[in-house]
Amino acid sequence: MTDTRYACLAGRTVIVTGGGSGIGGAFVRAFAANGARVGLLDLDDEAAGALVEEIAATGASRPVFAKCDLLDIPALQAALGTLHAALGDAAVLVNNAANDRRQDFLAVTEAEFDWSLGVNFKHHYFASQAVVPQMRRLGFGSIINMSSVAWMGGGPSMQAYSAAKAAVVGFTNSLARDVGKWRIRVNAIAPGMVITPRQRELWYQDEALITAGRARQSLPDPIEPEDVAALGLFLAADDSRMITKQCFQINGGSR
C-alpha cells in the first residue's frame, strides 16, 4: 500500500488518546511519519514508552507521552496541559481510547455502566473541551472521534459500549455545528473488525470467528489499524478542509 504524505501536517501538534498500542499506536506512527509533533495519552506506560523509542529511532520527531487514566477527568485535563506546555497549541485531536469489554446485560451494575460510558465516551467530551480553545487560537483544527460499527449493527453483549459509541456520533454532529465558525472540523470514524493483538487475545482466539467476520465483508482483505490511521491523516489534513459532521465507516463493505 502506498502511503500518502501530507506536507501540511509537518510541524503541527497532534494529540492522540489511547495512543500506546493498537489503532492508537497506528495513529501515532502515521502522524509522526508525516512530520507532526505528536503527544499521546495512555495508561500503559510500558507500551507507550516502547512506541516512543521505536518512532524516535526512525528519525521522526520524538512523541511526547503523558501517562493518564482517562476516567479521571482532572487528570486528563492536567495531562493535556502537560502536552500543551511541551508541544504548543493542538491542531489535531484524535479521541481514540476505548474498551469494548463484553458485559452480561442482566448483570451489569451501575458502576460497570458508568465505567463503560466513561472509558468509551466521556473523555471525548472533556478532551475536546480542553483543546478547542487552542484550535481557536490557531484559526483551524480537526477533531477526530472514534466510534464503532457495533452500535449500528447491534453487537451482542455490548449494550453500554454501543450506547457510548452512538453517543460519540451525536456529540460529533453537535460539536461540529458549534465550532465550525472557527474552522474547526469534527468527524467520527467507525471501524469494523480490526484484529489488533488485544482483540485476538480477548475476543478472537478462535480463527473461525475471524474468518466468519471477514466473509461478511465485500472486500476479502483484513482491515488493518493502518487503514484507520490513513483515514485519520486525511481528516486531519487540509485536503479535507470542507469535510465536517460526518461519520466514516471502515468495514470492508460488511454493512
* One-character DSSP codes across 29-65: HHHHHTT-EEEEEES-HHHHHHHHHHHHTTTSPPPEE
Q: Does domain 7-195+226-250 have CATH number 3.40.640.10?
A: no
d(CA 135, CA 141): 5
The domain limits of the chain are: 7-195+226-250
Q: Report, as residue numbers or ranges, the catalytic residues.
A: 161
In 147-192, at which residue ranges do the beta strands (DSSP E only) sit? 184-191
Q: What is the pLDDT of residues 224-233, one digit of tens each?
A: 999 999 999 9
* 185-226 pLDDT, tens digit each: 999 999 987 877 666 555 555 677 777 777 888 988 888 999
Read off the pLDDT of each residue in 30-45 and give the average, rounded to a whole number.
97
For residue 2, give the H/E element and its range: none
Give the pLDDT of residue 255: 67
Structure pTM?
0.94
pLDDT digits (tens, 9 = 90+) for 96-152: 999 988 889 999 999 999 999 999 999 999 999 999 999 999 999 999 999 999 888
